[in-house]
């Protein structure tokens, strides 16, 4: 059989990392990325890119932990290499603080991040409205540089990238053997997935280089995440809200909430407002599907629905999607040798 032709649809963190894992683990494939938008115009560009997992209620915890661990290990190696600054990957230490002690004092990911421990009384004095906290070191992706780094690596291996909106996965069947669907919230329309819904997030990207530690309120809504050049402060979680326009009232509310956690942010400058739609679902859709029309089959692998945690698990889910692509290739090769008999 000729080299299998694989189309990856989507160029956010999920599409690009999935394309890279396919290239790394199936070198005989010819891989093309097709996407309506590339960086800097994806949801992935808006994200803070912190490696603190979100919990998917429909996915077993050991699977989520495996995805997170694989992602952490992969990015930790980049952060410890000469590529770190170009890839926008760095270690960041800080605190997650709670107004009331949470039921689960040890989250499932506590032994994956570095140096996880309860905060001391002295540290908690920085947060007079909070009574419990956890200190740890994790990784952060500066999202647009990381996406560009992934694109550069893909181009270096010969992957072609085209701007194209796909209206129906079937339109790809004459050109490709396997289609990998990494369209994020776009899958709502593309494959009519009614279990997928947007959770709108508004954030501010500010210049405040004196803030070095991350601070996250345990409710997950208010956070301060320092990047290499700018700080992402947030945020909102608005279920089923498709509005991509920034709301000025929300901007003021975010700024006030973050200043109450870190008063020195009052001096922040060059405030830019961004909005993104988290592609949310009870569980990530990571599965094979065979589409069939008039006796013609199209092999599809879905990898979308990462909600609030796409950066935290992207490498783990990309590896699993690449494994599913290898299963599809084995099925194609089996069918091709049977046809020759």
Q: Which positions touch ligand FAD (CB under 6 A)?
A: 9-15, 34-37, 42-44, 46-50, 165-166, 182-186, 190, 201, 203, 234-235, 276, 278-279, 304, 306-312
Give the largest Cα separation in the chain, rounded.
76
264 labelled ligand-binding: no
Decide whether 68 or 124 has the Cβ nearer to ligand FAD.
Answer: 68
Strand-pair category, 197-207 with 269-280: antiparallel
**β-pair partners for 272:** 205
223 labelled ligand-binding: yes
First-to-last CA distance in the chain? 14
Decide whether 36 or 332 has the Cβ nearer to ligand FAD.
Answer: 36
183 labelled ligand-binding: yes
Cβ distance 179 to 172 under 8 Å? yes
Q: Can you say whether residue 31 is alpha, beta or left, with left for phi > 0 and alpha for psi between -120 and 50 degrees? A: beta
Cβ distance 215 to 93 under 8 Å? no
- State the DSSP string of 126-153: T-TT-SEEEEEEEEEE-HHHHHHHHHHH
Distance from C-alpha of 254 to C-alpha of 251, rounded to nearest angstrom: 5
- Burial, 311: exposed, middle or buried (Cβ in 10 Å; 0-12, 13-18, 19+)? buried
Query: What is the residue whose two structure tokens read 């421990």?
Result: 117
Distance of closest approach, residue 23 Cβ to ligand FAD, in angstroms: 17
Distance of closest approach, residue 256 Cβ to ligand FAD, in angstroms: 18
Decide whether 37 or 241 has the Cβ nearer to ligand FAD.
Answer: 37
Decide whether 22 or 122 has the Cβ nearer to ligand FAD.
Answer: 22
Decide whether 183 or 222 has the Cβ nearer to ligand FAD.
Answer: 183
Helix, strand, or coil (residue 238): strand
Cβ distance 51 to 13 under 8 Å? no
Decide whether 177 or 312 has the Cβ nearer to ligand FAD.
Answer: 312
44 labelled ligand-binding: yes
Distance of closest approach, residue 338 Cβ to ligand FAD, in angstroms: 33
Distance of closest approach, residue 142 Cβ to ligand FAD, in angstroms: 11
Strand-pair category, 178-181 with 296-304: parallel
Distance of closest approach, residue 3 Cβ to ligand FAD, in angstroms: 23
Q: Which two three-digit tokens encode residue 305? A: 């629905």
Distance from C-alpha of 102 to C-alpha of 132, rounded to nearest angstrom: 8
Decide whether 168 or 335 has the Cβ nearer to ligand FAD.
Answer: 168
Distance of closest approach, residue 117 Cβ to ligand FAD, in angstroms: 22
Cβ distance 336 to 299 under 8 Å? no
Residue ranges of the annotated binding site for FAD are 43-44, 166, 183
Binding site for D-dopa, by residue number, is: 223, 278
């Amino acid at each position: 059989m000729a080299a299998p032709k694989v189309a990856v649809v989507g160029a956010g963190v999920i599409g690009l990392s999935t394309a890279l894992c396919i290239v790394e683990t199936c070198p005989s494939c010819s891989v093309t990325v097709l996407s309506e938008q590339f960086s800097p115009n994806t949801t992935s560009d808006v994200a803070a890119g912190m490696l603190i997992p979100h919990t998917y209620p429909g996915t077993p915890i050991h699977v989520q932990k495996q995805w997170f661990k694989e992602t952490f290990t992969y990015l930790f190696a980049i952060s410890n290499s000469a590529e770190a600054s170009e890839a926008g990957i760095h270690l960041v230490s800080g605190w997650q603080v709670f107004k009331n002690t949470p039921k689960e004092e040890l989250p499932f990911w506590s032994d994956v991040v570095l140096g996880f421990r309860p905060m001391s009384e002295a540290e908690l004095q920085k947060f007079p409205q909070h009574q419990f906290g956890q200190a740890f070191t994790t990784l952060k992706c500066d999202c647009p540089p990381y996406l560009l780094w992934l694109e550069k690596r893909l181009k270096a291996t010969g992957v072609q990238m085209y701007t194209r909106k796909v209206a129906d996965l079937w339109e790809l069947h004459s050109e490709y053997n396997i289609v990998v669907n990494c369209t994020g919230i776009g899958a709502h329309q593309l494959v009519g997935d009614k279990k997928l819904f947007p959770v709108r997030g508004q954030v501010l990207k500010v210049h405040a280089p004196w803030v070095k530690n991350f601070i996250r309120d345990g409710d997950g809504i208010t956070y301060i995440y320092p990047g290499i050049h700018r700080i992402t402060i947030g945020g909102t979680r608005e279920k089923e809200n498709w509005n991509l326009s920034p709301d000025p009232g929300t901007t003021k509310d975010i700024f006030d909430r973050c200043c109450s956690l870190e008063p020195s942010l009052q001096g922040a400058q060059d405030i830019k407002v961004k909005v993104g739609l988290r592609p949310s679902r009870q569980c990530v859709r990571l599965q094979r599907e065979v589409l069939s029309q008039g006796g013609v089959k199209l092999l599809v692998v879905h990898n979308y629905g990462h909600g609030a945690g796409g950066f935290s698990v992207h490498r783990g889910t990309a590896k699993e999607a690449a494994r599913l692509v290898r299963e599809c290739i084995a099925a194609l090769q089996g069918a091709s040798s049977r046809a020759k008999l």
